[in-house]
A = this chain, B = another copy of it.
Amino acid sequence: MQTKATPPKVVLLDLRKRQAKETNYETGKVLCSMCTKPHIVAKKAHELFFESNLGDPRLFQETAQLEREVIAQLGNLLHQKSATGFIVSGGTEANMLALLTARNASNISSPEVVLPDSAHFSLQKACNLLNLKPVIASLDESYIVKPLEVEKLVNKNTIAIVGTAGTSELGTIDPIHKLSEIAVQHKVHLHVDAAFGGLIIPFLKTTYPFDFQLQGVSSMTVDPHKMGMSVIPGGGILFRNSEMLQYIKTETPYISAKSQYTFVGTRSGASIASVWAVFKTLGKAGFTEIVEQCVKNTGLLVKELKKYSLSLLCQPTLNIVSFRSNKNTNRLSETLWRKGWFVSYIPRYDCIRIIIMPHVKKKHVLKFIEVVKEIEML
């Protein structure tokens, strides 16, 4: 740390210069992110509740009330009005809390979790933390987990099964209804990681059963800071009922509220106000409109890629498109980066992944196709 103080004006001028060089969603060139430019009300709500800390909900009761309302709205959306939960730091914390609940509810010395091969890496991270053995179930040719294989992998040590509703790599939806049947039959916790899909799937024209209306679903991750257009950090964890909370309870001996259920202690109240504001502003109607636009632009990208014979890995379920170059996909990805188009390259599928978030407009899709054509000499 430098010894002397610096005038705030000088500090902010320096920061503004750096910010001007920083990546910006509005260029439409960020095609690799599950986050997007937050909704304008999210930003304003954040500014209003800037100082609020849900590490102490007795001290910040208005914010605590906003959280209860947000969780009720998510519960309503995901078909379990009495669901309980929290706005947390992100999908990693949400997924970890789900596995922690399952682990602590069981009394198994060598606990295992059945994960689809496509499960998010945060679940491996959580298994490492929690000393759980991840057991990997393979995918079918549509890149969704094989329920028969999941069932085979369930044994007396299994504390949870995970299914993904909107995988991070390809946007596929596992057969959650079949996983639910397995969970019910074997009396095992089914966690649905809908960090990305949870605020998309309910607004699609096609119906996918993926939430608490399936009896076997015990917990769900759904992140407002992804398609919920809220600010970072804004993850979401929902549990089917409040009895499950006992397994993640921590006593908080010097805080006015006597216990805590999240992993994080001091917790941004501003994030919660942001989620509340976006949900109120958009409602189901607003979300449906945004999702429809993303799906439409996804369709446009697919059509264009097919026109130039660039092969798709699979027909998109959500607003994620994965394709391969006719030559060298990794090289195409690196060339796109150099030209300022930020795409993901996924080694294990040797494909480029594009996420059509709300900041990616029709004009950006068309421009992107032009750039790809130029690089690929199509």
Which of A's residues lie within 8 Å of B, judged by CB? Answer: 1-8, 11-12, 14-16, 18-19, 21-25, 30, 32-35, 37-38, 40-41, 43-53, 55-56, 59-63, 65-66, 73-74, 76-77, 89-93, 96, 100, 104, 121-122, 124-125, 128-131, 168-169, 223, 225, 231-233, 235, 250-256, 263-270, 273, 276-277, 279-287, 337, 342, 344-348, 353
Q: Is the CB of B22 within 8 A of A60?
A: yes
Selected from B41, B122, B285, the residue in CB contact (under 8 A) with A12 is B41
Selected from B37, B46, B121, B263, the residue in CB contact (under 8 A) with A92 is B263
CB-based closest 4 A-B pairs: A22-B62, A1-B73, A5-B286, A232-B268
Q: Given that A23-B59, A33-B59, A91-B265 are known contacts, is A250 also in contact with B4, CB under 8 Å in the complex?
A: no
Q: Is the CB of B344 within 8 A of A255?
A: yes
Q: A12 contacts which chain B residues (CB < 8 A)?
A: 41, 44-45, 48, 277
User: How far is A373 from B347 in the complex, measured between Cα atoms in Å?
Assistant: 69
Q: Is the CB of A285 within 8 A of B52?
A: no
Q: Is the CB of B131 within 8 A of A250?
A: no
Copies held by the complex? 2
User: How far is A11 from B283 in the complex, measured between Cα atoms in Å?
Assistant: 11
Selected from B14, B96, B256, the residue in CB contact (under 8 A) with A342 is B256
Q: Is the CB of B286 within 8 A of A253?
A: no
Q: Is the CB of A90 within 8 A of B5?
A: no
Q: Is the CB of A2 within 8 A of B283?
A: yes
Report the minimum CB–CB distance from A374 to chain B (whole Å): 22
User: How far is A55 from B125 in the complex, measured between Cα atoms in Å?
Assistant: 14
Q: A100 contacts which chain B residues (CB < 8 A)?
A: 129
The residue on B at minimum CB distance from A72 is: B1
Q: Is the CB of A232 within 8 A of B285?
A: no
Q: Is the CB of A30 within 8 A of B2?
A: no
User: How far is A55 from B346 in the complex, measured between Cα atoms in Å?
Assistant: 16
Q: A277 contacts which chain B residues (CB < 8 A)?
A: 8, 11-12, 15
Q: A55 contacts which chain B residues (CB < 8 A)?
A: 35, 90
User: How far is A65 from B22 in the complex, measured between Cα atoms in Å?
Assistant: 11
Q: Is the CB of B11 within 8 A of A41?
A: yes
User: How far is A56 from B342 in the complex, measured between Cα atoms in Å?
Assistant: 11
Report the minimum CB–CB distance from A335 to chain B (whole Å): 14
Q: Is the CB of A337 within 8 A of B263?
A: no
Q: A63 contacts which chain B residues (CB < 8 A)?
A: 22
Q: A73 contacts which chain B residues (CB < 8 A)?
A: 1-2
Instruction: Apart from A43-B47, A124-B250, list 16 A-B contacts with CB within 8 A.
Output: A1-B73, A1-B283, A2-B283, A6-B280, A8-B41, A15-B277, A22-B49, A22-B62, A35-B53, A47-B47, A89-B93, A91-B265, A96-B129, A96-B263, A104-B128, A128-B250
